[in-house]
Structures are given as structure tokens and as C-alpha cells.
């Protein structure tokens, strides 16, 4: 089997949102909460930067601002699972193919967003991503 990072074509900034209201209701009813992660605008993705150009980041400052206020700050090194661990685990469950996007988690500080909020994310070496929350 190929080493996990051999499967990575590039890296991007993503904003993986969750509708906590849908998630809570589904959990209460013992139902899957797939739609809490799969609603319109739930997985914003910035430009993908090829590994051939930037390499595999071993660390990188991550910051998220909401309406100009810092809400999350951390480093790739602080994530619960490393990228190789995530890819290896996923590869045991599904076949990863060209075009698949893998969202890897977030630093502490997750909080409520409301329609109209402007979310700005920066990750060292990848630039920034800015999006407005829609209803």
C-alpha cells in the first residue's frame, strides 16, 4: 500500500460548517445527522495548492476571524489527528480518488455563526479564505 501522503495532490483552506440545530434534533431522534454537515454552503473550499509547489506542511498557523474578531487560533501541529493518520484511516474505509476533498478538523474555539457573518480563515503557506454565511 502507498504511504498516505502519496495520495495527496494538494492543500487548501476549507470552512466545514455544521448546523447544530439539525444535528441536535437528529441526535435526539436517534437519526443520522448527515444533513447537519451537508447543507447548501456547508463546505467552502479555497484554491488548491499543489504539493509539487508547496510540499507537505508539517506545521502552520491557523486563524479564523468572524466579523473581524479572532475566534480560533492554533497550529496544524495541534490537530488531534495528523494528516497521514486521517488519510490512512479513511483509506481503510473508502477508496480515495482524484478530486476527493478531506476536511481535517479545526482548532478550539468553535462557535455559533449567523446569516451575514463574515468568516475569514488564514493558514500559513496557503493564504486566506473569506466567505459570508448565508441563511
Please state the pTM of the whole predicted model: 0.84
Query: For the domain that residue 126 is a member of, what is the CATH number?
Result: 3.90.850.10
Question: Which range of residues forms the domain containing residue 19?
Answer: 4-132
Burial (CB count within 10 angstroms: exposed 0-12, middle 13-18, buried 19+), residue 130: middle
Please state the domain count of the chain: 1
Taking the chain (135 residues) in runs of 10, the rounded mean pLDDT of each run is 75 90 92 87 92 86 96 89 86 88 86 93 94 86
The confidence score (pLDDT) of residue 2 equals 59
Amino acid at each position: 500500500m502507498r504511504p498516505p501522503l502519496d495520495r495527496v495532490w494538494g492543500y487548501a483552506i476549507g470552512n466545514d460548517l455544521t448546523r447544530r440545530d439539525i444535528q441536535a434534533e437528529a441526535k435526539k431522534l436517534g437519526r443520522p445527522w448527515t444533513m447537519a454537515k451537508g447543507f447548501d454552503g456547508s463546505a467552502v473550499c479555497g484554491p488548491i495548492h499543489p504539493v509539487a509547489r508547496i510540499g507537505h506542511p508539517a506545521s502552520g498557523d491557523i486563524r479564523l476571524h468572524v466579523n473581524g474578531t479572532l475566534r480560533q487560533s492554533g497550529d496544524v501541529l495541534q490537530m488531534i489527528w495528523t494528516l497521514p493518520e486521517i488519510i490512512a484511516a479513511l483509506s481503510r474505509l473508502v477508496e480515495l480518488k482524484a478530486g476527493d476533498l478531506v476536511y481535517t478538523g479545526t482548532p478550539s474555539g468553535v462557535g455559533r455563526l449567523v446569516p451575514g457573518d463574515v468568516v475569514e480563515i488564514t493558514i500559513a503557506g496557503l493564504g486566506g479564505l473569506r466567505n459570508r454565511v448565508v441563511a
